[in-house]
Structure 1
Amino acid sequence: MKVYKLQTVQHLNAGIEECWDFFSSPQNLQIITPDTMSFEIQDFDNKRMYPGQVITYTLKPILGIKINWMTIITISQQNEYFVDEQRFGPYALWHHKHFFEPAPDGGTKMTDVVHYALPFGFLGRIMNHLVVKNKLKSIFDFRYKKIEELFNSKK
């Protein structure tokens, strides 16, 4: 199985507590996901993020095809990091780490590291090359711009 990696780093003009407050609420994932993906949370317990939390949702990532996805928060350290992993969904592997570090200027450095793999062996590798890696890049580009609006356009 071929494992791919996507990493982004973003500086936020907000303290760690404010960043954590936003990103530790699963409901805010919809805000930073492109509308074209029709992202909808189906089930979660309406609590702040904690290890063992299960979140199920639907989305339409490609060609309007609706898929079900279940993630679990496997680890969470308040104001520092959390990890979500796919339990059921389109990937053979999805492991997403989120890190929050104080920046020297009082802001926050946020780093996302995603490791993912696709099913279907050789066909999955072709799909990653033709479609998936570009789709993920566009999703994370959207996310970056949306987070810029939310945290870095304040005057």
Structure 2
Amino acid sequence: MHLLLRTYVAASPAQVWEGFTRELFLALAPPFPPMRLLRFDGCRRGDEVQIELGAGPLRRRWTSLIIEHGTLPDGTYFFVDEGQELPAPLVGWRHRHLLQPAPDGGTIIIEDITYQTRFIWLDRLIYPIMWTQFAVRGPVYRRWFGKPSVG
């Protein structure tokens, strides 16, 4: 399944790139399920992020590896994380983060996510949950990087 979300912020792509920190990662965590950050190396190739989702006997580990990062010729910063250890029912995860320059000097933060379970019907069933988990990031991004001024 594929999710594509866009959030427009006032800060430049370079400022947003520098702001992708452990603190921002924690601020972006949705309210449910409970999440505990075990490891956050950063957003560069070879970095790893490990979280624990859930509580008690329902705890599940999620480990992602940053498989690439860089800057495109148009000034878009990017990094890609790929799931290495995923909680059920996920069996595949790839999340491209694009920090695209906006015409007024701000940034369009694009979250381009592809995920899979073992069944297409289950991919579709959990789509609204996955979409909601990432849609709640928009207001957080605007708090951290500023709301663009309306012209």
> TM-score band (shorter)?
0.7 to 0.9
Give CA-to-partner distance per residue, 1:54-93, whole Å, 9 cap, x none.
22111139xx932100100000115610000000113211
Give the structure-1-normalised TM-score. 0.80
Structure 2 CA distance for aligned equivalents of residues 84 and 27 of structure 1: 18
Structure 1 CA distance for aligned equivalents of residues 12 and 40 of structure 2: 27
Say whether the 8 Å CA contact 2:63–2:86 is kept in structure 1: yes
Q: Report runs of 4+ in structure 1 exceeding 6 Å deviation.
A: none
Q: CA deviation at 1:10?
A: 1.6
1:137 aligns with 2:136: no
Q: CA deviation at 1:27?
A: 4.2
Say whether the 8 Å CA contact 1:52–1:72 is kept in structure 2: yes
Letter aligned with residue 19 of structure 1:
V
Structure 2 CA distance for aligned equivalents of residues 99 and 29 of structure 1: 15
Q: How does 1:83-94 map to 2 (within 5 A)?
A: 83-90=80-87, 91-94=90-93
Q: CA deviation at 1:117?
A: 0.7
Q: Percent of counterpart pairs with the same letter?
A: 22
Alignment root-mean-square deviation, CA? 2.3
Give the structure-2-normalised TM-score. 0.82
Structure 2 CA distance for aligned equivalents of residues 28 and 65 of structure 1: 25
Structure 2 CA distance for aligned equivalents of residues 144 and 88 of structure 1: 26
- Aligned residue pairs, count: 142
Could you tell me which of 106, 122, 126 is aligned with 1:127? 122
